[in-house]
Amino acid sequence: PPLEKLDPVSCFKPSWFLIISDFLVLRGWTLLVAMAISTITLIPRAGVIIGAVLNNLLMCGIYLLFIRRMRGHRATFEDVTSPLRRMAPRIIIGGMVQSLVTAPLIMATLATASSPTTTSMLLLGVLFVPSVYLIVGYVFMLPLIADREMPIWTAMETSRRAVHRQWFPIFGLLLAAGMLLFVSAAALGVGLVLTLPLCTGALMYAYEDLVDQR
């Protein structure tokens, strides 16, 4: 049967209870990966190249850890790393594809901010809606590659079709997660200890709810 309208709150609530039940593992690994990605980003010049290879692999490891725990399995290190080894090329290329989808909007936004001409603002307006639609639509692409070992195009289309009917609730979920993370980071980053795994879990609960309907 078709899924009823997704309620973002219904994703955060079970994520909270999941984290509380396995706080050290889920919080610990999520923060460790976040610190690793932040460190890679700070590496001069080479950080961009290293990040393009490693960042999405690290995040997919966290996605798999949450998915396994949500399904009632006590995931071992091998349970998480084995799919990553098999799917590493797809995950890396898939992450680059996601970056290409995001790039036009970022470039148009920067161009408008640095030189707010009529042309730049018109370009931003033209790109905004389709770019945001695809960015939200492809949010489950990497989890699908890592979890279900789908080819890149299949994962893209599966994610887009699953999100399409629930686009606004998923957008609301991502917006709420972004606000939580922003506020937590602004408060000296202390709140990220809780909000980072909470938001990751909420996204994975939305993934389970939507993709299981396919």
Interval 63-111: pLDDT, tens: 999 999 999 888 788 889 999 999 999 999 999 999 999 988 888 888 8
pLDDT at residue 5, rounded to an integer: 77
- List, for residues 7-51, the tens digit of each pLDDT value: 888 899 999 999 999 888 898 999 999 999 999 989 988 888 999
Give, in degrees to the nearest 5, the angle at Cα 100 between 153 and 108: 140
Cβ-count burial 169-192 (b if 16+ within 10 Å, e if not) = bbbebbebbeebbeebeeeeeebb
Q: In this predicted model, what pLDDT tens digit does every residue of 109-163 receive, in sequence order? A: 888 888 888 888 888 888 889 999 999 999 999 999 999 999 999 999 999 999 9
Cβ-based burial of 31 (10 A; exposed 0-12, middle 13-18, buried ≥19)? middle
pLDDT, residue 67, reads 94
Rounded to two decimals, the pTM is 0.90
Both tokens of 82, joined, read: 């084995």
